[in-house]
Structure 1
Amino acid sequence: MLFSTLSLLTSAAAVSATVLPSSFSSSSTPTKRGSGSISVTPHDRYSSSLGVLGCKINTNRVAYWPETRGCDNFCVRVSANGRSVTLLAIDHSGGAHDISYDAWNYLVTGSSARDSPTAGGGIAATYEDVAMSECADLLTATDGKLAFAAANSMNTVSACLSNAWFAQNYALYNIFNTQCTYGYDELCHLDGNTPVCGHQLGVTPALTSDPVYNIDYPTGALSLAV
């Protein structure tokens, strides 16, 4: 994605914003776990409305769902055709239960979309919300934290700091966008409600050390996320 000067100013202003994304609940109480039957569809372009950095997670295991999430409720297990995948529910859809193309392909065929790509639409599945520990292997940051873009995720972070799980398991980075193509790969800390980083927050030098790759539908080819 290319960022204009206007979009940079808008994103920097979001650091102090207090309005939460519609896919998110700020309740500090443990979230009630849900389960049910759904139809899941493939999604092949990584994004996160909560500001989770794609270079710090397994982007092939993400849920893009319409339901509101809580501060300790980003992990779901989806099952179909006798197979299951565990997913990070960190982006919002307009109504569909989308999941990463690779995860969808595995539920359909038992194989990765890189090895045996297939095409199709919704498949009948069941889901259950599970403890965040079930998604620990999807968090690839060296400290094992759920990593956020410091310039663009303070809505989420500020609302969740009173949640016990979140407060112990989040990290802020001076990476500008969730596809990790701009900024600095450096940890930040909070001074009050303001992220403090080694370099200026919210600037957009090209970042090439942390590429995020999409698996393209329906070919299974890799492409750089932008």
Structure 2
Amino acid sequence: MLFSIFSVFTSAAAVSAAALPSSSSSSEKRGGGSISITPHDRWSSSIGVLGCKINPDRVAYWPSAPSCNNICVKVSANGRSVHLLKVDQSGGAHDISYDAWNYLSTGQSATAHPTYGGGIPATWEDAPMSACASLIREPHGRLAFSAANSMNFISSCPAGSWVAEHHALYNIANSACTYGFDEVCTMPPPSEGNQAKCPHQLGRQDPLKSQPVWNIDYGTGKKSLAQ
């Protein structure tokens, strides 16, 4: 994140292999409440979600760890609302993507009318995944993960949970989608190992330029390539 005074983030590359959901129960209780939302202008995912397969301008970066079920949240402020995918964990602040924050603050996109500012009083509530369906850009509507860096999280999600039933593994090495191959991998039977099988070698670092993820830079509205 651009502003350390709002929150401190753990590197997605370091955390994605170890992150665990806040609850593994498929009957997690829905929550909500009042928060102060702050802007986050750099894409990341602590659980290995691929930014090129979702809308990175609609993400929640919150203190609680992403879960296996309650991935979609609704945030409201100033008479406006947005739905966000909760796929990263912050160091303490309730950050949301800069474009979403700018919209809740001003009613306009950060690319059209970028603004500066800090915390905005808001309310949030868990929402059904159907409300976030338009934010998922994977061809079959699944939440796409890096096959090389997300298996600890995926394997912690029990059968019947939303992530367990609606995820896809891609041979893309990082959540910013700058390395690897834009190809779907499959998990073999347990007797054949616990690594995904892909058309190319799993985890290769070949440059990938066909799946860019763009940040919207704070205060300028200009786009820069996520790294």
Normalised by the length of structure 1, the TM-score is 0.89
| Residues 8-157 of structure 1: pairs in structure 2 closer than 5 A | 20-21=18-19, 24-157=21-154
Which residue pairs with 2:177 in the alignment? 180
CA contact (8 A) 2:62 2:94 kept: yes
RMSD: 1.8
- The size of the alignment, in residue pairs, is 211
Q: 1:7 is matched with which residue?
A: none
Conserved in 2, the CA contact under 8 Å of 1:179 and 1:212? yes
Aligned match of 2:210:
209
Pairwise CA distance, 1:161: 4.4
Q: Distance in 1 between matches of 2:67 and 2:214?
A: 27
Tell whether the 8 Å contact from 1:79 to 1:107 is kept in structure 2 after alignment: yes
Are the counterparts in 1 of residues 66 and 88 from structure 2 also a CA contact under 8 Å? Answer: no
Q: Name the CA distance, whole Å, in 2 between partners of 1:205 and 1:218.
A: 33
1:5 maps to none
Runs of at least 5 residues in structure 2 that lack an aligned partner in the other structure: 1-12
Deviation of 1:25 (Å): 2.7
Whether the 8 Å contact between 1:75 and 1:87 is mirrored in structure 2 is yes
Equivalent residue for 2:187? 190
The offset of 1:67, in angstroms, is 1.4
Q: Return structure 1 stretches of 4+ with deviation > 4 angstroms.
A: none
Q: Could you list the runs of 5+ residues in structure 1 that have no partner in the other structure?
A: 1-10
Letter in 2 for 1:102: D
2:49–2:144 Cα contact (<8 Å) kept? yes
Return the alpha-carbon distance in structure 2 between the equivalents of residues 209 and 116 of structure 1.
Answer: 28
For the Cα contact (< 8 Å) 1:72–1:163, is it kept in 2?
A: no
Following superposition, the deviation at residue 26 of structure 1 comes to 4.8
Q: 1:139 to 1:221 in 2, by over 3 A?
A: same
TM-score calculated relative to the size of structure 2: 0.89
**Cα deviations by residue, 1:23-81 (Å, 9 ceiling, x for unpaired):** x2351332111010000000000000010000000000000000133211111000000
8 Å contact kept, 1:26–1:159? no
Report % sequence identity.
61
* C-alpha distance in 2 between matches for 1:130 and 1:143: 21
- Superposed displacement of residue 130, structure 1: 0.9
